[in-house]
Structure 1
């Protein structure tokens, strides 16, 4: 309808008003109509130009996307990374934004970047890692002047004279000889000869007269089990000190801890906190926490250790801008954070406490604890060692895509208490999604069995 009205208006401009009569609008109506037509054309022109610019922008974006896709198709990956000697590589995708992780075999430590990311420049972040042999002798495990020889995943001690054991911790006993007084008037006679009466023999549980028999003009003397004929007098039996004689036998020591010589035999003893096993040779730790032989209060946690126990109090940390609540005896979880509280969001989501007990001079390297994620929300999972009391004894390595492990890298001489904090971080496009901290306390026994 508007097109017909515009055509009629234009015709009226070229004809006289009288020829069309009252069919043509007035002059004021014509001017109003022309203004409306002008606005309509301007609006159409603006819409056309806007559509043209939008189409040009879409064409440019399509051209750029096609060019990038062509570049990626041609050579859009980072170069292949080599697997370090005595190590492993996790991750096969070489595209931009993807990560590759590196691990070392037991007995080796990682030097370089544990994780490398393929950057937009098609180069890898960080440095190519290597697996370096851990020097087990760095902690000077050999005692009493012994020299240490480093080997892969172990060490050997060459002990000084008078010492023995894996770490030269045991003195070699000095054998003694029982000397009896010999009469100066008769060098060939013995004070305990057959002519001596039984009452003249020494009264001691560690020596007694032998049992002698005459046969075909010869005398044969014997002793009870655990005794032997004295070197000076066949009529005298002296006790065999099994603890000294078999201290370093080929079959090992008679007793794991302490050997006590008895008349005609021996017995093994254990330090406080241990009981003898059924073989009467080894020692077994007493679990004071399970048998309730402890004095921990209700608000304390009883932790069994080798030879004793520890009463620990688990308390949630006090961190500024964040609050925690204890959800189990050994776990604290962060309360929900306000939307605008960024400092609270950076605090650990949870803090877990674990307590371990080990013997003194435990062989290393050894896995103490593993941290694993049941499910991963982000695209990256990282593990690290935040802090430690005795840091040189610990390291953290990745053992799988979703698992990290805390390793003891050198033996520890007990008694000692060490602490380590293992952090597991979850990220999405390098943005932090959550942090989870595990505090591990290690109680080292003073004994090595």
Structure 2
């Protein structure tokens, strides 16, 4: 049964027949894509929920959704294919490596007066060569086992150093040009003046650490692989020469002088072939970092020559033997109550001269490096108990009074300050006086003698 509305004919059965017709049309168009089952399921869901035939817009929307899903599936397929190819390539390489594992180069012989480092001679492995003391290595320091089962470079040799140390003058690299030989000779002659020592005091040229021409200039290590040559130098050397056949020592001491930030050594730097070495003055040990200097405590290590009645005072870079003696004053006598303290004996009744003398005298010794920043707190004097109503602090005397100042830092404490820079070596003294008063009447005076030993070094 069919109905006609204004030229439009609709058959009874409606949605089912229309849906079947659309399904057949879509299936005809999409058969070549291989997604028949997917389209049937999508269209079945769409048409089952509709009571009428879908419009052209709805049909195109469904087709676009299917096209997007197909594009996603195609991208996933291509990604999986690429991943599979990578896995197959890795499997091929590992298989080839397994087959090549058994291949190796012949065992290289160590040079006369030298030795070889390395026990594996397979493809890609390296062996290294060293010479005994008083011998130098001529040729490559490292050789690599190539895929051709041959070692790279030439067999090295060890040559004895002659008495003058200029043993490289006869060295000539393989097939050298005239320009490269000239550059090597020029570098060799220039190296005789390249050895430097950066230090406050010069080092004798006969020092065992001074660089010789033979150690400042040496041939480079060249490796020949697949028709190309690669030359390198040991650490601390820079490559030079027209054919990169020369290695010249880098003078680290000259690059980083003592006066510049980031200096290599705190005190003295000596250039060595490929490196440098730091030294410290007497009274110091080289620290673990190889650059700083740490003070040696001669007093604690019993490395001093002070007598039994002297006090050993450790200083930066040395020590001092100090004598602690009680003073002799008119009408006042003192007795030593401890190694660093003298007490006044009781005064006779009415003896004003005796009562004006200090009740006690303490001795203290301090050590300091040269040019230490100021102002700086050096020492504090405190009263254990106060009998009067007032305490006063001040400088009583001593050598170098212009370098010191005393300030009140508490009700019962005074502080000795260093107010100016002191360049060592120097020995300064300061006497800090603490006076106790009761209604402006003097009850007692207490004197502290501070001796400051300034080192000639800034470390």
TM-score (norm 1): 0.55
| Structure 2 partner of 1:264 | 274
Of 337, 343, 346, which aligns to 2:353? 343
| Structure 1 partner of 2:180 | 190
Of 347, 362, 370, which aligns to 1:360? 370
Are 2:257 and 2:264, in contact at CA under 8 Å, matched by a contact in 1?
A: yes
Of 294, 298, 303, which aligns to 1:293? 303
CA distance in 1, matches of 2:184, 2:310: 71
CA distance in 2, matches of 1:241, 1:406: 46
- Is 1:411 the counterpart of 2:401? The answer is no
Secondary structure of the residue that 2:355 maps to in structure 1? helix
**Aligned-pair CA distance for 1:359:** 0.2
- Is 1:235 the counterpart of 2:218? The answer is no
- Is 1:442 the counterpart of 2:452? The answer is yes
| Structure 2 partner of 1:374 | 384
Of 321, 326, 334, which aligns to 1:324? 334
Are 1:193 and 1:233, in contact at CA under 8 Å, matched by a contact in 2?
A: no
| Structure 1 partner of 2:84 | none
Against the structure 1 CA distance between its residues 422 and 232, is the aligned structure 2 distance closer, same or farther, given a 3 Å change threshold?
Answer: farther
Q: For each residue in 1:140-173, what CA deviation from the matched residue of structure 2 results, as whole angstroms up to 9, or x when unmatched?
A: xxxxxxxxxxxxxxxxxxxxxxxxxxxxxxxxxx
CA distance in 2, matches of 1:187, 1:371: 80
CA distance in 1, matches of 2:358, 2:184: 87
CA distance in 1, matches of 2:306, 2:292: 29
CA distance in 2, matches of 1:394, 1:220: 66
C-alpha RMSD of matched pairs (Å): 2.7
**Aligned-pair CA distance for 1:374:** 1.1
**Aligned-pair CA distance for 1:187:** 11
**Aligned-pair CA distance for 1:389:** 1.3
| Structure 2 partner of 1:307 | 317
Q: For each residue in 1:302-356, what CA deviation from the matched residue of structure 2 results, as whole angstroms up to 9, or x when unmatched?
A: 1110000001111100000100000111110000101121110110000111100
Unaligned runs of 5+ in 1: 1-179, 181-185
**Aligned-pair CA distance for 1:213:** 3.2
Secondary structure of the residue that 1:204 maps to in structure 2? helix
Of 290, 293, 307, which aligns to 1:280? 290
Secondary structure of the residue that 1:190 maps to in structure 2? helix
| Structure 1 partner of 2:99 | none
| Structure 2 partner of 1:162 | none
Name whichever of 248-257 and 309-318 sits farther off: 248-257
CA distance in 2, matches of 1:187, 1:217: 19
**Aligned-pair CA distance for 1:214:** 3.9
CA distance in 2, matches of 1:194, 1:341: 92
**Aligned-pair CA distance for 1:229:** 1.0
| Structure 2 partner of 1:24 | none
Secondary structure of the residue that 1:296 maps to in structure 2? coil
CA distance in 1, matches of 2:371, 2:183: 53
**Aligned-pair CA distance for 1:250:** 8.8
Secondary structure of the residue that 2:254 maps to in structure 1? helix
**Aligned-pair CA distance for 1:424:** 0.2
Secondary structure of the residue that 2:442 maps to in structure 1? strand
CA distance in 2, matches of 1:303, 1:238: 48
